[in-house]
Structure 1
Amino acid sequence: MDREELAGWLRLALPGVGNQSARRLLAAFGLPATVIAQPLAALKQVVGPQEAEALATPHEDFAQQVERTLQWLEAGDADAPRHVLTLADARYPPGLLQIADPPLVLYVTGEPPTPWPDGIAIVGSRNATAQGVANARAFAESFARSGLTVVSGLALGIDGAAHEGALAGAAPGTVATVAVVGTGLDRVYPKQHRDLAHRIAARGLIVSEYPVGTPPLAPNFPKRNRIIAALTHGTVVVEAALQSGSLITAKQAAEQGKEVFAIPGSIHSPQSRGCHALIKQGAKLVETAQDVLEELPQLAGRAAAATAPLRAPAAGGDAVLDALGFDPSTLDALVARTGIAAPQLQARLLELELAGQVARLAGGLYQRIASA
């Protein structure tokens, strides 16, 4: 794509124009260069006056935006190539063409596959429990072993664990995972995931509809969730509070006609309430990756490759673990159940925490972690 063609698409994608108005203009006049060449009066016959004015008189730093994008493209390398995909590009993800508001322009780090791979979304809380992180990673690893691409949002908590699991389970040469982000691709948000983002770019894709230079703005993250849903056959919600953005992804997946799955958790955990609400609304309760694949006929034959992600240890091995169970519990409650004095019990809980069998939660709670 040369500079003139890129500038035409970026101009159509200006915030004041909007995806829907841009598509109407393309349908009426053809390629962006032809659209831009139209007189203002002709543009106003197709879109509203505000959209027509925004297209006819782009903001004063538009030329700098084009230059930033060209520099970003040129800075790509063989390990992490960079692309701008438009609606007219044969490599544009077909799943996005099926939704009501597909991005006019898609920025991609990594090599876009042809065809795009079968994807499954894994989303959940940024403030995940240790058990939720383990579940997300294990499900993602199982999906990747079965040949699926795991799609998530690069956020802290469940998203990061899902990407890590996919990278661990995917075969060499496959698109292990896709991160759909809410910033420009010249930055990584959150910063803690800089190394993870580099590994995703080398073995998968990082995707954004936002121009180079876009900072992490709160409204952009819920909006990008429709892309996560559109790139997949279904969405698995691992942990989510009732106001979680993951529920937005689930809602959009359902509106797109995709399956929604939810992993249940403790009735005492705030991070499980969103999943339980989804199940009440008709989402399928799942305990293993195989449960998910068996519900997706288009992925028939892959379920056998997905192993059960976690198993609960048999009871009777440790008095403290047996008393703890899998619900979050306070130290006082454990003292009452075990009869062990608080100092000795705290020492044992620390041993179990260091061994990866118990997690310390906010509010002075402890939770047992299932094993792989």
Structure 2
Amino acid sequence: MKSEDNYYLAALARCRGLGSRNIQKLLSRFASAAAIWQASLEALSAVGKMSFVQAQNLAVFRKENPDLPEQLAEQCQRLGISLCTITQESYPNILKEIFDPPVVLYYRGILQPEAARVAMVGARRFTPYGEGIALEFGKQLAAAGLTIVSGAARGIDTASHKGAMKSGRTVAVLGCGVDVAYPAENKRLLREIPERGGVVLSEYGPGTKPLPVFFPARNRIISGLSQGTLVVEAARHSGSLITAELSLSEGRDVFAIPGSIYSATSQGCNHLIQQGAKLVQEPADILMEYGLSAPPKQKARRQFTPEERQIWQVLSFEHPLTIDEIFDSLPNGEMSNLAFLLLQMELKGIVIENELHAYRRAERE
């Protein structure tokens, strides 16, 4: 398929009610996506691959958007967005295997079609327990060569991306256009992922706003790109469980982190384990499934100022502390420039500030 034909295929994908499966059926009958776009209503109806109503909807859509392929090409070029279609060799083969693969992927960054990938998903309303696991597992799995796939939502998704970027690659799958920062606080994260060799991708065109209906569809791409899905922390009724169920339906692995029976954010994971998901206690449990091993750990050499060392000794990896809690825990109860020192330590990669504005050590000892 010629590169300009990709934008005709992208335009077809924007027609509501047509669907990727119908588009693939049409591609098997017509010579190109451009030919589908230019076909008469009679020619579309005669194919027998779609209903008359669908053919009529497409005809109306084309009439209302005659220049859409050219507009999409101009938008992508202007915004630095790349396009990959299901007809190209650069399209991930593993994603083609799912029931309803997207016909078009818009992306920023480096799309590595044959990379070994594992999804990490979880609650938006995380606990320090879940956040710490997401950071640690993201980092260690990426260091061992797995690309971490998640949805860039606040909470566990964000922590998984951040952990992975410390040692390797990550893929963020969006339920909006790749030029739209959602949630807004992840604008920097979504900029850094492509800059560090990862990719931000979506089946939705430039400028598409994040509507609730898009996120369940987004989840099938997260699981579809991945050999397995790890649910870090999730309530009993959670979007993360949808991703896990999609993985199961496609014959992929599902892993879950166990949690307290009294914690609402662990009920989903514990239920998955009851249903047969693989209980995971450390990254090696996942790596063994794929014949990988963790690289040897190297002891980090940290250079602390005397004040930074006092702060470091107060902090832990497992339990983040607010700035007030840190201040109250200092030996002499005094440090007028505490906020500045924490910022400096964060820039050095010594501590991490989470979404609740609490601080933890960046690595487990």
Q: TM-score w.r.t. structure 2 length?
A: 0.78
Structure-1 separation of matches of 2:294 and 2:131 = 24
Residues 51, 135 of structure 1: alpha-carbon distance in 2 compared, 3 angstrom cutoff: same
**In the TM superposition, what whole-angstrom CA distance separates every residue of 1:165-215 from its partner, at most 9, and x where no partner exists?**
010012xxxxx0000000011211000000000011212001101121211
Structure-2 separation of matches of 1:143 and 1:224 = 23
Gaps of 5+ in 1: 171-175, 308-325, 328-345, 363-369
Residue 183 of structure 2 is aligned to residue 190 of structure 1: yes
Structure-2 separation of matches of 1:188 and 1:91 = 25
For 1:284, give the aligned amino acid: K
Which position in structure 2 is the counterpart of 1:92?
Answer: 91
Which position in structure 1 is the counterpart of 2:307?
Answer: none
CA deviation after TM superposition for structure 1 residue 30, in Å: 2.8
**In the TM superposition, what whole-angstrom CA distance separates every residue of 1:61-80 from its partner, at most 9, and x where no partner exists?**
6356545533332235xxxx
**In the TM superposition, what whole-angstrom CA distance separates every residue of 1:247-286 from its partner, at most 9, and x where no partner exists?**
0000000111111000011111100000001000000110
Alignment partner of 2:61: what SS? coil
Residues 100, 306 of structure 1: alpha-carbon distance in 2 compared, 3 angstrom cutoff: farther
1:350-361 matches, within 5 Å, as 351=329
Aligned length: 314
Which position in structure 1 is the counterpart of 2:295?
Answer: 305
For 2:188, give the aligned amino acid: D
Alignment partner of 1:238: what SS? strand
Structure-2 separation of matches of 1:180 and 1:41 = 38
Structure-2 separation of matches of 1:18 and 1:145 = 38
Alignment partner of 1:151: what SS? strand
Gaps of 5+ in 2: 298-317, 331-337, 343-349, 357-362
Residue 172 of structure 2 is aligned to residue 179 of structure 1: yes
Which position in structure 2 is the counterpart of 1:10?
Answer: 10
1:330-369 matches, within 5 Å, as 351=329
Which position in structure 1 is the counterpart of 2:303?
Answer: none
Structure-2 separation of matches of 1:251 and 1:58 = 34
Structure-1 separation of matches of 2:115 and 2:131 = 25
Structure-1 separation of matches of 2:329 and 2:65 = 58
1:136 is aligned, of 134, 155, 159, to 134
Which position in structure 2 is the counterpart of 1:36?
Answer: 37
Structure-2 separation of matches of 1:304 and 1:7 = 42
For 1:12, give the aligned amino acid: L
Identity within the alignment, % = 39
RMSD: 3.0
Q: TM-score w.r.t. structure 1 length?
A: 0.77
CA contact (8 A) 2:149 2:170 kept: yes
Structure-2 separation of matches of 1:25 and 1:220 = 24
Structure-1 separation of matches of 2:177 and 2:23 = 21
1:93-112 matches, within 5 Å, as 93-112=92-111
